[in-house]
Copies of this chain bind each other. A is one copy, B any other.
Amino acid sequence: MELDDTDRAILRLLQEDARTPFSEIARRIDMSSATVHDRVGRLEEAGVIEGYHARVDPKALGYDVSAFVGLRVEQGREEDALERLREIDGITEVHLTTGEYDVVMRVHAPDIDDLREIMFDNVAQMGGFARSQTMIILGTDYDAVGVPIPEGDDSMKESPGEFGEGTRSDSGSER
């Protein structure tokens, strides 16, 4: 689906606050609320808007520990492994990655002891992993809501950062 500036403006507002009334969105982007309603509907149908969710503080729910876990998967057991990882309680993300690990996942646990249980009694025990690295999050300095949605310019291609030439050839890993 093709997005124009108006769509992105709407997405930016809803990503920031999903409860922004259509009437207010309409005011801010200078259009009628019926139009906003129309566009939001199309964005939802097209899957651009995947859903509306309340962000809940994990600590309030008793999750005091969170970690990234890198896993090295034994050859040929990838499918198998991924299937079962998502079933484990506390694992909220499972990604296949390049680099040092084959899988990087995010884990939430009430405390260190529970994290240990998840890692040893669940993950390690299911087998198929050559090694793991647990990166416990000591603090989160920045955690944006969603992804940055550029305003104005319709072709965001060209301006990922502030600069923009750079002529190095490798794609950068392990330096």
- Indicate which residue in B115, B141, B166, B172 contacts A132 across the interface (CB closer than 8 Å): B172
Look across to chain B and name the residue whose beta carbon is closest to the beta carbon of A101: B135
The 19 listed contacts between A and B (C-beta, < 8 Å) are A8-B61, A16-B53, A50-B55, A52-B52, A68-B97, A90-B160, A93-B142, A93-B143, A95-B137, A97-B138, A98-B136, A110-B156, A115-B171, A120-B168, A120-B172, A131-B174, A132-B172, A133-B173, A133-B174
A96 and B139 in contact, given A51-B17, A147-B108 (Cβ under 8 angstroms): yes
The A interface, classified by DSSP as helix, strand, loop or mixed, is: mixed
Q: Is A49 an interface residue (CB 8 A)?
A: yes
Q: Is A122 an interface residue (CB 8 A)?
A: yes
